[in-house]
Structure 1
Amino acid sequence: MAPHRVLIVGAGHVGYYTAHRLSHRLSAREVEVVVVDPQPHLTYQPFLPEAAAGSIEPRHSVVPLRQTLRRCTIVTGAVAGVDHAQRTATVQMADGPTRQLRYDDLVLAPGSVSRTLPIPGLREHAVGFKTLGEAIWARNRVLERLDVAAATDDPLLRQRALTFVVVGAGYAGIEALAELEDMARVALRYYPELTDADMHWVLVEATQRVLPEVGPELGAYTVTQLRERGLDIRLDTRLDSCVDGKVELSDGDTFEADTIVWTAGVRAHPLVAATDLPRDDKGRITCLPTLQVVDGETVVPGAWSAGDCAAVPDLTAAEPGTLCSPSAQHAVRQADRLADNIVRAVKGRAPLAYRHKHAGSVASLGLYKGVAHVYGIKIRGFPAWFMHRTYHMSRIPTFAGKVRVLADWTLALFLRREVVALGQLHDPRLPFTDVTPSTPPRQ
């Protein structure tokens, strides 16, 4: 008899931890776990700001799937659609034709993508901050602009090069802004032509609060700390346009910037719309607390979901109808419950509901600076920064990963931060094509 096949779409926090736990809870004779993702690794997203700032090696912020999910089948490709009625997923391979994968149970966990708005110039001149590639691009971009500014005598060109805009004041925006500004300030030691006052860092936030997860008091503290560092914090302000790098804000201010980083929220992955599974008004998969997909009052057999792309009721919330927030804290715990529930279902037992009271939040404001609101206790400064690092190191899936990150941090205590741009990584063939003549094919 063939083993029960579980297809896991997405290798983010939900997909990775579900696959790992499921493959260790059941034998290969009982279950075959197939993981499909366009990338051959899990990206530990809380480390993207530190990878961008050079505090850790970028490779140490990812977990290779084939090395760590040895009991699973890894398929590197993008799921183009799911026909759950037929228990079939269509996978576009990285290089080649599409492939049909059949399954018994489906775990749909592609996560989320940047939530963008129809703002003129945004598509052409901004970059997100959700992938490792985007984080490294932002690092290279900031350092390249320092080189441009140092090499020019044109004050307008220098001003544009040294103006950096971050849109969105959630975790990603605040940590990206703080870490990148910290890195740039260190780099200026090697640019005698430039001073701290030459840089203009702008945070644009449409609401009146930053880091709402840590509460209004720590949010106000964060704003104060960033402003004391000379950062330009624009609350209750929207980005109206950035055509050709000309930034127009809703407060009437206009200036030019070469670097615009967009972190203003996330939305469910577009793949969710390419399935026949039920969705809510925000495009998320509707789920029960057991993480089973539900259509109205009817459970969809063999379909499960969790994480950013799923609308999962929060049973610990005071107000009925509250959903779990799209955070790694929930995703990892939901993955464990989801895997256990699949095991229970395979063995003919009823699934259990997911219940977790949010422990709190931690955020870095750059090297040795942070805020934390954990179990009702508010912490700021160095203790919060230390707590931030300790917590996230504990959540790295592998022992080897923990050691590598700890080694990066330890070396950084004794060695100066490396501040060099590797911009050619984004277009590695350009130096070769520049010196190679175009030759027509032989007849």
Structure 2
Amino acid sequence: MTRQTTMINGYTPGNGSLAPEDQARIARRAALLGPAYRLFYETPVHLVRGEGVWLYDRDGNAYLDTYNNVASVGHCHPRVVAAMADQAATLATHTRYLHDAVLDYAERLLAHFPAPLTHVMFTCTGSEANDLALRIARAKTGGTGIVVTDNAYHGVTLATAEMSMSIGPAVAPGPTVFPILAPTAANYPGDLGLGFAAAVTAACERMAAQGIKPCALIVDTIFSSDAVLPGPAGFLGPAAAAIRAAGGLFIADEVQPGFGRTGSQMWGFQRHGLIPDMVSLGKPMGNGYPMAGLVVQPEIVADFGAKSRYFNTFGGNAVAASVGMAVLNVIRDEGLQANALHTGRAFHDGLKALAARHPCLGDVRSAGLFLGQDIIDATGAPDPTTAARIVNALREARVLISATGPRGHILKIRPPMVFTSDHVAIFLDRLETVLQRL
């Protein structure tokens, strides 16, 4: 069934209704998957195909993807797909057999990290990587107390869900999790870095008052669930020093900002001129294939390795290693880190220019192709209602996006890194049309 509608600014707007078969599909999904699963948008999208920055529904309508950072080198990139298929047709097994693919990939991946981050342990998901980081941190420090930001997201295992305030109150925070305010100028007037570090120290003091020893500070280095907070370069340094002074470790969660997305550097932590004790990886690492990992300093993992075995049935398998290598090759050969820097700047400037004509667009923050656009009301206060209307109206305009932050008033923009200035122009044109209609 194809809708007959009028073309507006180069796209065919949806009518906000669902075909009967999709209504039945939603009911079937609820019956089979249960109540915890969620769908995006008031009118969910039924997608059947992806290519580059575009996703297609069953009627052949193209949607501009400005949200899915998993497919960071583009949906269904042919080189990644070929690497996956070729290796799957040859051998797929875990890392307790000798195989060169995982070693070659480990060498190539670690070459992107500063010394002494010279070990890598493979998992399937970022949740597993962060869970493993906690196990290692506890073995190294003897502590259990974790410092996180107050709207963080670090995973869906029990341990990582307990330190992920953004996913809801059912399991978070855990008894050894000590949330602190996210690093914004409003929360820490004056010197942002020193204020955030003082909050880390204060959290460790609260632990001590309860007889809990610090284990680690873990942060998503762009604070994507807190509001997309790249902050001034270098501001994280004092916080890392503060947790170490209290006997804990600093864990950089690069699951969302990693692999060149921030443009100026391969990893978000590098913008701050520091070296973490551990770095967790995931999402874009396999461009859709489930692979993730934890990069660690050898001294940090020594105690854990001496007392515990680690293996992962699928983490680091030959297919994953081949896919990961292909992703690194594409990032290098297509200049995607540099593209993230230059296209991200154009995106940032375009949103700033649009804000001059539309007062509901507040502050925009970015690092490369990771942007957060505040939506505000006439008084300058956060406006989650309008943000939700924009997200849903953009979906009808065939642009996929979402919102983030504790109030849900921030447009979260993180398109595939093959995004170009032409795609930015499409996004800005359709956003302006949506704003005019609202």
The one of the two structures with greater contact order (alpha-carbon pairs below 8 A, sep at least 6) is 2
TM superposition score normalised by structure 1: 0.27
- Which structure has the highest strand share of the two? 1
TM-score (norm 2): 0.27
Q: Which has the larger radius of gyration?
A: 1
